[in-house]
Amino acid sequence: MPSKPTFDELIATCQRSAVHLEMRDAYDVDYETGPFADWRAGHRLNPDDRESWWRPWLDLITETVSRGVTVRRARIVSEPVSEYIRYEHSGTFTNVAAGELVRWLPRRNASDLALPGNDFWLFDDKWVHWNHFNGNGEWTGEEITDDPAAAKLCASSFDAVWDRATPHDQYKIQ
């Protein structure tokens, strides 16, 4: 049996679309050091200082979009939003600048949607990359599959969220 591609291989070889659904209100962060701690202390990314942003990820997205791939990210969030979501929202302009399309959906507006149990990436409507987290938001691993049923669930779930969600530039944190 051939080995499954890695996340890096999937994003490097996708041809049409890469979609990412995030459904947690917090992910593993260091409250004492690092970008989240800096944000909590008042530091904000400067839109005019692109060199100071998280370069490896943004460079990858820029390259992916330049190949003609549409990259979309949807975030389902509880309201009022968590401190972590405030942090994510404040820096999302960097994702948009790199070419990602980003939308936000209040969790109360997702109650009647059938959603997978985990965050995921879906590449070209075929490959699903699941991200697994524990209760503290710590990443515990990944799972990659080309199971058609999983891909269909992820595609329909993402599209349903996307249709209801608010574009980043219009979503206001309460």
Secondary structure (3-state) at 37? helix
Report the pLDDT value the prediction gives residue 31, as an integer from 0 to 100.
79
Query: What's residue 29's pLDDT?
Result: 81
Which residue has better confidence, 15 or 33?
Answer: 15
Beta bridge partner(s), residue 145:
128
pLDDT at 1 over 70: no
In the prediction, which pLDDT does 30 show? 78
Q: CB-hemisphere CA count at 13 Å for 69?
A: 24
Give dist(CA 140, CA 131) in Å, integer: 8
Q: What is the pLDDT of residue 65?
A: 98
How many percent of the chain have pLDDT more than 90? 84
Q: Tokens in use for 60? A: 């990858």
Question: What count of residues does the chain have?
Answer: 174
Q: 7-40+57-170: what fold?
A: Endonuclease; Chain A (3.30.870)
pLDDT at 93 over 70: yes
Tell me the C-alpha to C-alpha distance, in Å, between residue 90 and each of 42, 86, 122, 171: 11, 6, 25, 11
Domain layout of the chain by residue ranges: 7-40+57-170
Residue 174 has pLDDT above 80, yes or no: no
Residue 97 has pLDDT above 80, yes or no: yes
- Asked if pLDDT for residue 48 goes beyond 60, the answer is yes
Q: What are the residue ranges of helices labelled H in the chain?
A: 7-13, 35-40, 55-66, 83-98, 148-164
Q: Are 128 and 150 in contact (CB under 8 A)?
A: yes
The tokens describing 152, both together, are 């269909």
Instruction: Identify which of 126, 94, 118, 114 has the alpha carbon closest to the alpha carbon of residue 159.
Output: 114
